[in-house]
Structure 1
Amino acid sequence: MDLSELTALLTPEGLRLLDATPPIESADDVARAVSRLRKNGHSPDLVSAVVGQARLRVRGRAKFGDFAERMLFTRAGLEQSTRLSLAARHAARFRDAGFERVADLGCGIGGDALGLAALGLRVQAVDADEVTAAIAAYNLAPFGEDVEVRHDTAEASDLSSVDAVWLDPARRTAGHTETKRTRPEDWSPSLDWVFDLARRMPVGVKLGPGLDRDLIPDDVEAQWVSADGSTVELVLWSGALARGGVRRAALVIRGETAHELTAGADAEDEPARDLAAYLHEPDGAVIRARLIGDVARSLEAGMLDEHIAYLTSDAPLTSPFVSSFRVREVLPADVKDLSKALRERGIGRLEIKKRGVDVDPAALRTRLKLSGAESATLFMTRIGSRRTAILADRV
């Protein structure tokens, strides 16, 4: 969305038209809506804005639920925003630490600011992009004077009136639609600026989960977060926002349920052992936090290979921090022999997981020519120098 489209939309007529437009879920819906609105005499800018927002509101349900029906978005802003359930968890950190006034620097469309304001905190929300800041102001308007939205940079913001800061540095190129990832040295604000601020006051910093761990300061809590199987973010907490004695944390969320593993440092791995009756795949947040060893000890498990993040155990123990599988057998890793073995077992539906080997699961599935009514999970991995195919069933 550009400024001319936003200007056309932010009028009584534009907003009424948007609210009256039914959900747009497909390209055919887009074509029909554009044709109808243009036929009714609406300007190209207004039609583009209304149709674009109606479609983004449908996509926004995944992150914002019913709230999406009254929000405005940019495509890039929606993709980069924090889902509301996670924003509420972030906000709880600030509330539980006793803070009342929080600056949200790089607020985007306002996802985290929504979480902060919903818990009764006063929020100073700042974004360097004019259109994004205007959309955040619209989304946060129901909170009245408790939220102030400014079009400004993080570096220029006056923080004298706030207790703590939430920061989401811009890690992609500027724009409202297609954007590209940038290097840490090109982020806005820079990591050096962010970490300097974190040394001076309590700060929460949202970053990508794949951040180079060597960049993480020693005096912060690093919390990796996964939601419904995807590792979605790394949050660094400083000052009173960091928990005492915690430097590594893995927060695993499945639906409405959350489990967390914490430690004062990276966990020491368990030794490798032979494949046993059960195979366990640690959650991505656990792997990123390097807490696999703690999970292994809770499962009475060992590493399948000292360099591969799979665990194996004799006992049928499981954990919220792993996906567990009962091992059927080891099959030939050669594609032709593997295909024959799977057909002999009547396996037509196959979940393929791989780690430590150069395998494209989609291409492999095609080459296997599966046939049959049975289902299973296939692990393509490496044990030592040997490629290994392990057939298993989810527990």
Structure 2
Amino acid sequence: MPYAFTLADVEYLTSADGARALAACDALPLTDASWLADVATARREVGERYAAVLETVLLRRKSASKLDDAGSWLLTGDALQQASASPVAAHRARRLAGRDVHDVTCSIGADLAALAGTAARCVGSDLDPVRLAMARHNCGQAGVAPLIVRADALTPVTRDAVVVADPARRDSSGRRTWRPGDFVPALDELADVHSGRDIVVKCAPGLDPAAAPWAREVELVSLDGQVRESCLWSAGLATAGRRATVLHSGGAEWTITDAESDDVAVAEPGEWLVDPDGAVVRAGLVRHYAARHGLWQLDERIAYLTGDVPPPGVRAFRVLEFGRYSEKELRAVLRRRGIGRVEILVRGLDVDPNTLRRRLKPSGADEASVVLTRIGRTPTAFVCRAERVPG
């Protein structure tokens, strides 16, 4: 069970004694093998607050890959899991720069701290007093000071500010698609309560856009190749119908919308295969991406693209040979080419890559990527060399 922080815990953790305790426990390995000994040490050094201190140290370590400069933040396990990654939060904040903004589900402040850095005025609110106390501390650590109040997201306490919401998911286990009622507060209730206001709602990527008819723009956002969220923008904020935004931890980013041309052909394979970023695929902008980069489709229902020059900055697949897919023929090709290490990518065929790899029994000194897909009704195998294209 996750540790349940209290206001007394927050008060202690932000005190001088708490800072010393956190520094002492941060030196502990906190591994499975050392856990019992580490707990004994923490209890001896810290006293009754040892559990809050150890949980904070562990959560700060987990947050390092998600939140920038969160080594001094206070977090809960659930809040960290739902928090926007820092580059994603910063992207959203840039879109709202100069506006008055109210984060109505501010939690521990991951989005709030970013919004407060770009907004003209910024308010954060939540119902959980512990998370609000953490948000005050975290925003202070980030060098911003938004107004933070306790309020229900379904009870407006501001008038003209842009409403930003990140509703909690009721149950994410095994779920790939979402409905408005799967969120707390429910999306339709949020939209009704704040009707007439500019509103931005962060959602799970699997939400059907038809479930939020008030949204005029649906933005899919990926970070370092992983789709992180779907963001819904109301009419006063929308600049496109569908948008894909691709972010990288190093700072590079690009975006594409349905305002661009999608005039591309379906034709024979070129020298390269390109698998568009997941945000592009989920946003339904594969053809727009192809048109931007001079690519074309192998099949109008398959997301793999092809061309003679791949886009800059992507991992693309130089085609060595291709043909109708059969396991026997693919095994022969790999043997002939001396390929012992093989990456298998599948789209449009009912093939499990791990099971297939074991049956292929590749052996040899070379390596390759195998792309299995279909062109029309023909199952097709591409043997490729994956290359990172300079960007």
TM range (shorter): 0.7 to 0.9
Q: 75, 78, 82: which one pairs with 1:80?
A: 82
Asked whether 1:368 is paired with 2:367, we answer no
Shift of 1:114: 0.8
Shift of 1:29: 4.7
Provide closer, same or farther for how the CA distance between residues 38 and 14 of structure 1 changes in structure 2, counting only shifts above 3 A: same
Asked whether 1:33 is paired with 2:26, we answer no
Name the amino acid aligned to 1:285. A
Asked whether 1:202 is paired with 2:198, we answer yes
Name the amino acid aligned to 2:18. G
Shift of 1:379: 0.8
Post-superposition Cα deviations, 1:285-337, rounded to whole Å, max 9, x if no partner, equal 11122222222223333211121111122x224255x6422111125633354
Larger displacement relative to structure 2 (123-132 or 332-341)? 332-341
CA distance in 1, matches of 2:295, 2:173: 42
What TM-score, normalized to structure 1?
Answer: 0.85
Larger displacement relative to structure 2 (196-205 or 106-115)? 196-205
Name the amino acid aligned to 1:80. Q
Quick check: 1:171–1:184 contact (8 Å CA) kept in 2? no
Shift of 1:34: 1.0
SS at 1:353's partner residue? strand
SS at 1:328's partner residue? strand
Name the amino acid aligned to 2:309. P
SS at 1:27's partner residue? coil
Quick check: 2:21–2:46 contact (8 Å CA) kept in 1? no
Asked whether 1:14 is paired with 2:18, we answer yes
CA distance in 2, matches of 1:383, 1:339: 21
The aligned residue for residue 134 of structure 2 is: 135
The aligned residue for residue 331 of structure 2 is: 339
Provide closer, same or farther for how the CA distance between residues 133 and 363 of structure 1 changes in structure 2, counting only shifts above 3 A: farther
What is the 5 A alignment of 1:101-112? 101-112=100-111
The aligned residue for residue 57 of structure 1 is: 60
Asked whether 1:261 is paired with 2:264, we answer no
Asked whether 1:385 is paired with 2:377, we answer yes
Post-superposition Cα deviations, 1:327-371, rounded to whole Å, max 9, x if no partner, equal 111256333543343233222222221111222323333333232
Larger displacement relative to structure 2 (73-82 or 379-388)? 379-388
Shift of 1:234: 1.5
The aligned residue for residue 223 of structure 2 is: 227
Provide closer, same or farther for how the CA distance between residues 183 and 290 of structure 1 changes in structure 2, counting only shifts above 3 A: closer
Name the amino acid aligned to 1:187. F
Determine which structure has the larger helix proportion and give its number: 1
The aligned residue for residue 316 of structure 1 is: 309
CA distance in 1, matches of 2:324, 2:142: 61
Provide closer, same or farther for how the CA distance between residues 367 and 126 of structure 1 changes in structure 2, counting only shifts above 3 A: farther
Post-superposition Cα deviations, 1:147-169, rounded to whole Å, max 9, x if no partner, equal 23334320024123x52111111
Shift of 1:392: 0.9
The aligned residue for residue 154 of structure 1 is: 153
Post-superposition Cα deviations, 1:199-250, rounded to whole Å, max 9, x if no partner, equal 511222111222113224376222211111111112122244323xx22211
Name the amino acid aligned to 1:70. S
Shift of 1:145: 8.7
CA distance in 2, matches of 1:355, 1:371: 25
Provide closer, same or farther for how the CA distance between residues 387 and 80 of structure 1 changes in structure 2, counting only shifts above 3 A: same
CA distance in 1, matches of 2:303, 2:263: 10
What is the 5 A alignment of 1:277-356? 277-313=271-307, 315-319=308-312, 323-330=315-322, 333-356=325-348
The aligned residue for residue 212 of structure 1 is: 208
Q: Which runs of 5+ in 2 are unaligned?
A: none
Provide closer, same or farther for how the CA distance between residues 379 and 346 of structure 1 changes in structure 2, counting only shifts above 3 A: same
CA distance in 1, matches of 2:7, 2:195: 38
Provide closer, same or farther for how the CA distance between residues 145 and 353 of structure 1 changes in structure 2, counting only shifts above 3 A: closer
CA distance in 2, matches of 1:172, 1:115: 25
Name the amino acid aligned to 1:34. V
Asked whether 1:126 is paired with 2:125, we answer yes
Shift of 1:36: 1.0
Aligned length: 379
Provide closer, same or farther for how the CA distance between residues 273 and 230 of structure 1 changes in structure 2, counting only shifts above 3 A: same
Post-superposition Cα deviations, 1:93-124, rounded to whole Å, max 9, x if no partner, equal 221xx31x321121222111010122364332
CA distance in 1, matches of 2:203, 2:75: 21
CA distance in 2, matches of 1:155, 1:258: 34
What TM-score, normalized to structure 2?
Answer: 0.86
Give the percent of matched residue pairs that are identical in Structure 1 and Structure 2. Answer: 35
Shift of 1:193: 2.4
Q: Which runs of 5+ in 1 are unaligned?
A: none
Larger displacement relative to structure 2 (78-87 or 359-368)? 359-368
Provide closer, same or farther for how the CA distance between residues 4 and 132 of structure 1 changes in structure 2, counting only shifts above 3 A: closer
Post-superposition Cα deviations, 1:49-100, rounded to whole Å, max 9, x if no partner, equal 21121111111111223x21101111221121111122122112221xx31x
CA distance in 2, matches of 1:303, 1:325: 15
